[in-house]
Every structure is written in C-alpha cells, then in structure tokens.
Amino acid sequence: MASVTLRYFCYGCLVTSATWSVLLFLYFSLGEEPGRGRTPIQHRSQPITKLPLNRKAALRPMLANEGVELSPEMGMIFNEADQEVRDSGYHRHAFNVLISTRLGNHRELPDTRDSQCQDKVYSLALPSASVVICFFNEAFSALLRTVHSVLDRTPAYLLHEIILVDDHSELEELKDNLDLYIKKELQGKVKLVRNRKREGLIRGRMIGASHAAGEVLVFLDSHCEVNQAWLQPLLAPIQKDQRTVVCPVIDIISADTLSYSPSPIVRGGFNWGLHFKWDPVPPAELNRAEGAIGPIRSPTMAGGLFAMNRKYFNELGQYDAGMDIWGGENLEISFRIWMCGGQLLIIPCSRVGHIFRKRRPYGSPGGQDTMAHNSLRLAHVWMDEYKVHALTLTVPRDPDATSLPVCLWTNQEQYLSLRPELHERAYGDVSERVALRKRLQCHTFRWYLDTVYPEMQTVANGNKQPPLFINKGLRRPKVLQRGRLRNLATGRCLMAQGRASQKGGVVVLRPCDPRDPEQEWAYDEESQLVLAGLLCLDVSEVRTFDPPRLMKCHGSGGSQQWSQGKSNRLYQVSVGQCLSVAQPSGPKGYVSMAICDASQAQQWQLEV
C-alpha cells in the first residue's frame, strides 16, 4: 500500500513539473514585451513600465527623458547649432524639431484613458493589423518615434506589419539613412514603399493598403505616438462587425514643447463650407450602457487616424483616386461609410497622441487648391440637392404650417452657396464614384442628415450648440510664488519701463525697491510671469530678436510660458532662449532673449 502511494506521489510530482514547465514556456514565449513574441493568454490592458532592452545605441538619438514628465528645458538653446536645428525645424516641419531630436525614438507617455479602460479584457482571437503610415518630408525623429511607439505598445501577435509609404520626399535624411535604419533596427516588421512621384496622402494611403496583408488596416499620420493598449479597443468592434470603422481619441502633443496631454471626448462634424470640426458628444451617446468608455457614433472623422477591415475598405471603394494630395477625403469617406450601410465610431479606450503643427508645412504641386477640387468632387457625388446654390423646396404659404418643408438652403448655406466662385470650376470625371454609390445602394444625403447628424440641421436653423470648451479665463491661475525678479549680475530688479499697465511696453532693470508694487511679479501654475497682477511677460515667437514685452495674459502657454531652469536661468519655452541682460554694466538696463549659457547675466531670483 505504501509503495502504491509513493508511486502515485511520484506521478503527481512529474505531472506538476511538466505543467509548470509548459506554463513557464508559454509565459516567456508569449509575453507582452514588444518585439519579443506574443502576449499572454489572458491579455489585460497594462501600462508599459519599461522600454525594450534590445536597442542599439549607435543609430538612435539621445534618450533625454527618463519618465512621463517632460522637462520644459528640453528645448533650451545652448549654441548656434541648436538655434539652427530649432529654426530650420519650425520652417520645414512647423514644430520643435530640437526637442523631437533630443527626445529620441522611445519615451513613456501618461496613460490618458479612463481608469475603467484598464479593466477591459479583449479576446485573443482579434484580427491582425497592418499599420499604414504615409509621409512626405517628415522630421526623421518624429517618424521614427511614431514607428517605435507602435512597436513598443502593440502586442506582437496583433501587429502583422507596419507599412511606411514615402510620398517622394525630398529630404536627404529620409533616403539612405532611413533605409539603413529600417534594415538594422526594425526587425523585419517594417516595410518601406517609395512612390516614384508625389501622389499625396490620399493615393499614398491607397498604395500602402495595396501592399498590406493584415485583416485590418490602421492608418496613422507620421507624427503620432500611440498610447497604452491602443490597438485592442479598435480591433474588437471591427471583429464584431466588419462594416464598423473606428477612430481613437486624438490626444494633443504640443508643437512647441512636445508635451503630451489628454483631449476631451468629442466627436466629428462639419460645416457647410465642408470643413471638419469637433462637436460635443450628445448626452444620449454618453448615457449608453457602457457610459464614458463606450463607443461613440461620430458623423465624420478627422481623417488622420482610423482603422477598418481591409476587405471592407476595398468593397467600399477605398478613397476617391480623383482627389488630389490632401483635403476633403475625410468627409468623403465618412459620408460613404454611413450612407452605404456602415458605421463610424470613436473609441474612448484607444488613445493616440498627434503633433498639432503650427501650420501645414508644405503645399501642393503647382500651388493648386486641392481642398476646393476635392470638396467639389465630394459635393457632386454625395450631397445630392444640398450641393446646389438654391434649392427648389416649397416655402409654406401659411406661416403657422409646420408640416411642410421650408427653404433650407438660405439657412443652411450649402457648400456652393458659400463658394460661388467654384460653380464653373472643373473637378474631373466622377462617373465611377457615382456608379459606386449606385452599386452600393447608398442612402440619400438627406437620410444622413436626418439619421446620423440631425444636430447639423438644428444648428443651421438658428439654434446654438453648447460651447465645446469652457473658457479658462473665467478662473485665475493659482499663484505659486511672488516677489521681485532680481538679476544676479547687476543686483537690479525687472520692471516696466513705463507703467505696469501699459500693454506692449518693454521691461528694464531698475534698482530694487521692496515698497514698489510695480516690481512685484507672480509666477503661476500656467508658467506665466505676471507683473503687478496686470500683464504677462511675453516674447515674439517669430521675431525672437525683439525684446520681451508686457502683454495681456492669454493662458495658452507658448509666448508666455517661462521656466526657472538650472543655474537660475529664466528659460522661455516657446523660443528656447533665456532672459538675459543686454549690457550688464550699462545704465539703461535693457534685457533681451539670448542663447542660454551659465553667465550671471542670465541668472535670476524671485525674491520676497
């Protein structure tokens, strides 16, 4: 009896050992670490707490940030070379390339999702994704950080490939350097397709999609950073219904500081000039079963970031290949999705950051107005009678009759009534797109307005929507410190040359006087320096050689965002320079912005 018991005990040990061996093998081979296999069987959304260990330092830029918080001094200019990188970066790319380069290819981001999103569990049988990123003359650092953010935060088993489409870029850094980096660093997950001529975003994405093999297409702009567990929430609704097209919430990456901040939950709309706009989410959408983390029906998409089933993308007609470069394609595909039997959703549990550039840094070939050309094609194919200058709708004779239609065009100001100069403009052959609409048996545009976007007609008839954002100016920022701003080289204090209330007045150094209220500065939570509670210290973002001036506080950072840096330097975040005494030994006390150094002329203390 004892030998039988011992034999079964040994069998139990063997089975237990084998079980643990299998479990450990699965854990290490299917782990979550990006680029190292697959995710665990019970995948649950988790924040990334460490960066990949397999980076090669030789080909990547300096990793300047160690955590989620990004130091405002990241953009500080220390020499002429820094100044050139910053200035040329704004000129070429319309954002701070100096900071982008210093950030490197990887950084941690704040998890901006609702906390409930972290508890959602997704199926392991989600479809695979091909991420398509089309770029033209993109900053090398921003492009690589976009790619690495996808690799770092996407389970390997869901990421079929990343397809980069170079739309005939002109910058040298995007040629051999990019080829070499992809070959050596990106582990075979990234394909590079180069267009032989400039095709534009619209046809460029179609080219990228034609090379894709994943079940789902995910389109991203080339200056994005995806956040924690961003892909699973997009794939789940598509798996449930392949006619569902989904967009993440687009978080804000500052063009000046590259700081990452959350966006409010809003949805897409448009106006009768056919320009995209953000709308507040109707209460009915927020009151659904899933509440704040549930999908939100959106009449339109912004267009830069979305996902859809690859076969459905082709069945629905891809993009209109007759459209040029950029503009209007987002509304065209939005109308087509809804009117032809699909649905467009914003997914609050998916967050992707996007650099909102100061301007569009490049034009269209020949300077053509591609937005107008594309919008005309859109209007003539999809908007039915709403495209015309005047509608022949019956005006009720009885002013009290509410059951009869009214002349909507005078209130709604349809597209061509706003742009009369476009009546005779050529927009190409749209017969194929009209045939596509007929083949797909799409609804009318009136159906779209009544069913999908009734708020459009409410606004058009004179009713105002609630404000999308609350004016921050209603609340004064909290003051963090008060005192006189004393320069250590001269021992004198900064004040207005004239009156502290004079808008546009310059500031100078004068002997410190503790009894003078016009020498008192307040540094607040919005990084503003406010003199005597009246005006903010401001610099020109364009004419950086102009002296700092006192201007009305706007609370938007940028030209009024200051940081007390190391060695007591007073650093201006937007221009990347430090406040300095022009002539420390001179009597006039003029100050200016200058390349940052360690001299006492740039050292300041806020003293009580």
Taking the chain (608 residues) in consecutive chunks of 10 residues, what is each chunk's mean pLDDT? Answer: 51 54 42 34 30 31 44 84 91 92 94 94 96 97 97 96 96 94 90 94 95 98 97 98 98 92 94 89 85 94 96 96 87 97 97 90 70 88 74 30 31 53 74 96 96 76 50 70 94 94 94 94 94 94 83 89 84 91 81 92 91
For residue 144, the model assigns a pLDDT of: 97
Those residues with Cβ within 8 angstroms of residue 367's Cβ, 6 or more apart along the chain or in another chain: none
Those residues with Cβ within 8 angstroms of residue 302's Cβ, 6 or more apart along the chain or in another chain: 247, 250, 268, 276, 330
For residue 439, the model assigns a pLDDT of: 97
Going through 316-398 in order, the beta strands assigned E by DSSP cover 343-355
Hey, what are 600's tokens? 């006492």
For residue 397, the model assigns a pLDDT of: 30
Q: Is residue 359 classed exposed, middle or buried when 0-12, 13-18 and 19+ CB atoms within 10 A define those classes?
A: exposed
CA distances (Å), 488 to each of 78, 521, 568, in order? Answer: 20, 16, 9
- The bridge status of strand 159-166 relative to strand 190-194 is parallel
Q: Is residue 50 classed exposed, middle or buried when 0-12, 13-18 and 19+ CB atoms within 10 A define those classes?
A: exposed
Of 287, 362, 359, the closest CA to residue 135 belongs to 362
State the DSSP code for 497: S
Hey, what are 10's tokens? 């040994």
For residue 391, the model assigns a pLDDT of: 28
For residue 8, the model assigns a pLDDT of: 52
The Cα–Cα gap between 105 and 301 comes to 28
The Cα–Cα gap between 285 and 282 comes to 6
- Amino acid identity of residue 26, one-letter, is L
For residue 12, the model assigns a pLDDT of: 58
Alpha helices (runs of H) in 77-199, residue ranges in sequence order:
80-93, 97-103, 140-153, 176-185
The phi, psi pair for 348, rounded to 5°, reads -60, -25
- With vertex at residue 356, the alpha carbon angle to CA 260 and CA 274, rounded to the nearest 5 degrees, is 135
- Amino acid identity of residue 299, one-letter, is P
For residue 421, the model assigns a pLDDT of: 62
Buried b (16+ CB within 10 A) or exposed e, 214-223: bbbbbbbbbb
Q: How far apart are the first and last CA of the chain?
A: 89
Hey, what are 232's tokens? 């699973």
Please spell the DSSP secondary structure of 86-117, one letter per residue: HHHHHHHHSS-HHHHHHH-S-------S-GGG
Element (H, E) at 382: helix 370-382
The Cα–Cα gap between 130 and 151 comes to 12
The Cα–Cα gap between 139 and 448 comes to 39
The Cα–Cα gap between 395 and 400 comes to 12
Strand partners, 217: 130, 308
CA dihedral 46, 50, 53, 56 (to 10 degrees): 120
Of 217, 244, 205, the closest CA to residue 130 belongs to 217
Hey, what are 522's tokens? 């307040």
